[in-house]
Structure 1
């Protein structure tokens, strides 16, 4: 996986994968139910994209696996032949408390559509509710597939 995702200053929370259950469609409810019966704040990044949404971007892949990086839940899909990948990072509640992404000191980003901030290495940083999130699309050397990242952000925002 690319180290650019881990190196970006998105969220200071530890990168511990959250729990979630995959259904036969490759995606389940992103938020679970807590032991007390209320809505849980945990989101499993690996349940947010379906195989038919990732495969056209990177080709054959490992189906998404929890990985390290910045955020409460980080998942990466990688093509073992080309090393093309998609990585999703979901920050914890309150990491984008205003519902907007603000640049950290020393972080260089470019504005994109719908409040998206583009970092180097194909990373699109965005708010989903009150969570600071990222998606990274790597489809070649030095590739920066912003249009694909914007499409994925639209899908992810609806599911987070």
Structure 2
């Protein structure tokens, strides 16, 4: 892949992430700083949907295995019921991002169809998931429509999709209703 193609792909992935996250801003919910040495996701994610620490949904090992370095998560949402987190390698701008959706946005843990009059975005994935762009998957969990994105330039589209699905499968059971 040429440098121009890599830069273009990185821009498209980042722009897609911003579009899905609604250009969220940094939050003071939780501390937003999952430590790089944490061994596993925090099992004590809030039982009620009032506050979820999205940065606690992935382990340091999950993050470093994909980004090649220990990276602390940073909150991307000011809404504690719809949190987000991004782990970004400042050396190469590769990242992993999570957005937890609005409570009730995936009734019966099924992603909603596109809004009437809008085109169907994405392609079907496994387990009721939907691929939005390469490396970005929307998935139902906790009665919510959630998203995870893996933006790693060395990965092919198929590898990035597989990594996103793997993370969605790890995150899903930790998202409370």
TM-score of the pair, normalised by structure 1: 0.78
For 1:135 and 1:103, locate their aligned partners in 2 and report how far apart those are by CA, in whole Å.
19
Contact persistence 1:91–1:132 (CA under 8 A): yes
TM-score of the pair, normalised by structure 2: 0.72
SS at match of 1:119: strand
Contact persistence 2:85–2:99 (CA under 8 A): yes
For 1:85 and 1:125, locate their aligned partners in 2 and report how far apart those are by CA, in whole Å.
17
Larger strand proportion of the pair: 1
- 1:115 offset after TM fit, Å? 0.5
- In terms of Rg, which structure is larger? 2
* 5+ long unaligned stretches in structure 1: 33-38
Structure 1 residue 159 corresponds to structure 2 residue 174: yes
Contact persistence 1:46–1:65 (CA under 8 A): yes
Aligned-residue RMSD, C-alpha: 3.1
Matches within 5 A, 1:57-96: 57-67=66-76, 72-96=82-106
* Count of aligned residue pairs for this structure pair: 151
Matches within 5 A, 1:1-160: 2-8=14-20, 17=27, 19-20=29-30, 25=39, 27-28=41-42, 29-31=44-46, 39-67=48-76, 72-104=82-114, 105-140=118-153, 144=157, 145-160=160-175
